[in-house]
């Protein structure tokens, strides 16, 4: 089997790396996502290379050729070559010697097939040579074109080796699946759903946010709910309708945290606990929480206090979310978003340092005075300028003293 070489394969950076590694024969091939994408003729995310050389040998060969190489994951056999700011992850062929459902002990091998056999799905287990010829031990080429996400080998065995593959099964189906999901894979996922509990939050988050970013994740989420998979790390009830509507009106890039807030409406802190389970970063968790609880009202005389409190971006997202839930009309939502677009949130024109300069003792009273001034400024629709705010501050301090 052969495909016509893609521009990324013949780019000078790629060739520089591949020519060094293949000087003595067929020792390095493209692997994983870039091969799948090449077969499907869609853009690639990054170039992954598999090699029969040990990581040390890869580093030596590349360095001798004047190519920069960084030992990014030596213990699992990965080094990264950098050419003209392009990165290439180069991983020595591996096989699993021990698995416990969460992590694997791996050994290096020189056997392409052994490496392919430990990969998750047939469409992810192909090797591509620089000339465009494909080594496809498990029929991944046909499966990729047919949109069939199929486990390499027996689904139950593969899931017990690494439970994350349950989430990956649905993620890849969301992106590449056509028609019905593979029944054997689905059955094994359903039967082992409970094991997801044993996974680290970090691994769940990465997979699940990628899944949510798929062009149309809703049918797959429905499948996951029916298979009892979703409930294990994200308590229901789910609002698939809201997510559908959000995606319909979403004109920008997929926003997985916003999508999650639509999918899992906050109820007794459930959704928030799920974000803790998935080990969201502080910023992600704060945003998720704000989205889940903020309630800008369409009838308000002014949206500015809400916009000021949330910031423009979060306000607009909270409005989208509300419209997706059907809590406000799309006409109201548009008006509110327009109000935000035409009014960039201002900053209070006075700072703590100004107050200290006026003679206020540094400490909690500064914060207290700033909050009072801010309330006064908001009540005057953010109109008072710096001079007016300073005058008001002086007045407040004088009043305090009497
Ligand atoms: P993308 O990066 O576009 O999401 P990808 O196929 O590169 O897709 P990665 O998660 O980056 O996906 O993994 C790279 C490759 O490593 C996969 O194509 C697959 O062959 C293998 N792989 C990754 N995770 C697993 C896993 N849990 N079990 C088995 N093989 C895996
Ligand atoms: Mg990848």
pLDDT digits (tens, 9 = 90+) for 193-226: 999 999 999 999 999 999 999 999 999 999 999 9
| Ligand 1 atom, smallest distance to 119 CA | 30
Q: CA–CA separation, 31 vs 319, rounded Å? A: 43
Q: Is 33 in the pocket of ligand 1 (CB under 6 A)?
A: yes
Residue 399, exposed/middle/buried by CB under 10 A (0-12, 13-18, 19+)?
exposed
Rg over alpha carbons for the chain, rounded to the nearest Å, is 27
CA dist 146 → 123, 321, 362 (Å): 10, 35, 68
Residue 81 host element (H or E): strand 78-83
Centre of ligand 1 from the C-alpha of residue 133, in Å: 21
Centre of ligand 1 from the C-alpha of residue 45, in Å: 12
Asked whether the beta carbons of 234 and 311 are under 8 A apart, the reply is no
Summarize pLDDT for 221-273 with one digit per residue, the tens: 999 999 999 999 999 899 999 999 999 986 668 999 999 999 998 777 777 78
Query: Cis link prior to 386 (omega < 30° from 0)?
Result: no
Q: CA–CA separation, 173 vs 217, rounded Å? A: 9
- CATH 3.30.460.10 range(s) for the chain read 1-146
Centre of ligand 2 from the C-alpha of residue 124, in Å: 10
One pLDDT digit (tens) per residue for the chain, 402 residues: 899 999 999 999 999 999 999 999 999 999 999 999 999 999 999 999 999 999 999 999 999 999 999 999 988 899 999 999 999 999 999 999 999 999 888 899 999 999 999 999 999 999 999 999 999 999 999 999 999 999 999 999 999 999 999 999 999 999 999 999 999 999 999 999 999 999 999 999 999 999 999 999 999 999 999 999 999 999 989 999 999 999 998 666 899 999 999 999 877 777 778 888 999 988 888 888 888 777 777 777 788 999 999 999 999 999 999 999 998 998 999 999 999 999 999 999 999 999 999 888 888 989 999 999 999 999 999 999 999 999 999 998 888 777
| Residues less than 5 Å from ion ligand 2, measured at CB | 33
Centre of ligand 2 from the C-alpha of residue 63, in Å: 24
| Ligand 1 atom, smallest distance to 168 CA | 27
Q: Is 101 in the pocket of ligand 1 (CB under 6 A)?
A: no
Residue 195's closest CA among 107, 116, 288, 99? 99
Q: Is 119 in the pocket of ligand 1 (CB under 6 A)?
A: yes
Question: What integer pLDDT is reported at residue 294 of this predicted model?
Answer: 73
The protein residue whose alpha carbon is closest to atom 16 in ligand 1 is 32
Residue 31 host element (H or E): strand 28-31
Summarize pLDDT for 299-310 with one digit per residue, the tens: 777 889 999 999
| Ligand 1 atom, smallest distance to 32 CA | 18
Centre of ligand 1 from the C-alpha of residue 24, in Å: 28
Asked whether the beta carbons of 229 and 235 are under 8 A apart, the reply is no
Q: Is 205 in the pocket of ligand 1 (CB under 6 A)?
A: no
Report pTM.
0.91
Residue 400 host element (H or E): helix 386-401
CA angle (283, 289, 294) in 5-degree steps: 120
Q: Is 164 in the pocket of ligand 1 (CB under 6 A)?
A: yes
Give the ligand with the smallest distance to the CA of 175.
1
- Domain 1-146 in CATH: superfamily? Beta Polymerase, domain 2 (3.30.460.10)
């Amino acid at each position: 089997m052969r495909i016509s070489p893609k521009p990324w394969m013949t780019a000078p950076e790629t060739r520089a790396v591949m020519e060094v590694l293949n000087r003595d024969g067929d020792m390095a091939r493209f692997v994983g996502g870039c091969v799948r994408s090449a077969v499907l003729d869609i853009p690639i995310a990054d170039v992954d290379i598999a090699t029969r050389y040990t990581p040390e040998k890869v580093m030596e060969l590349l360095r001798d050729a004047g190519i920069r190489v960084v030992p990014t994951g030596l213990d699992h056999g990965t080094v990264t070559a950098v050419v003209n700011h392009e990165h290439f992850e180069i991983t020595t062929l591996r096989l699993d010697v021990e698995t416990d459902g969460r992590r694997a002990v791996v050994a290096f091998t020189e056997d392409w097939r052994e490496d392919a056999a430990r990969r998750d799905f047939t469409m992810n287990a192909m090797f591509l040579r620089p000339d465009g010829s494909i080594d496809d031990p498990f029929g991944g080429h046909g499966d990729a074109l047919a949109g069939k996400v199929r486990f390499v080998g027996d689904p139950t065995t593969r899931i017990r080796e690494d439970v994350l593959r349950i989430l990956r099964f649905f993620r890849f189906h969301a992106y590449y699946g056509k028609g019905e999901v593979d029944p054997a894979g689905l059955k094994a996922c359903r039967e082992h759903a409970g094991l997801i509990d044993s996974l680290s939050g970090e691994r769940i988050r990465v997979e699940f946010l990628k899944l949510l970013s798929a062009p149309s994740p809703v049918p797959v989420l429905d499948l996951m709910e029916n298979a009892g998979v979703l409930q294990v790390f994200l308590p229901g009830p789910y609002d698939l309708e809201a997510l559908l509507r959000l995606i319909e009106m979403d004109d920008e890039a997929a926003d997985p945290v916003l999508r999650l807030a639509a999918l899992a409406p906050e109820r007794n802190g459930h959704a928030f606990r799920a974000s803790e389970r998935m080990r969201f970063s502080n910023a992600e968790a704060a945003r998720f929480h704000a989205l889940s609880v903020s309630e800008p009202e369409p009838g308000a005389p002014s949206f500015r206090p809400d916009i000021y409190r949330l910031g423009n971006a979060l306000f607009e997202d909270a409005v989208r979310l509300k419209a997706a839930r059907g809590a406000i009309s799309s006409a109201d939502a548009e008006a509110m978003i327009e109000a935000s677009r035409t009014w960039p949130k201002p900053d209070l024109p006075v700072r703590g340092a100004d107050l200290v300069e006026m003679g206020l003792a540094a400490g909690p009273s500064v914060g207290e005075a700033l909050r009072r001034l801010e309330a006064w400024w908001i009540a005057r629709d953010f109109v008072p300028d710096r001079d007016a705010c300073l005058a008001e501050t002086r007045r407040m301090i004088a009043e305090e003293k009497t």
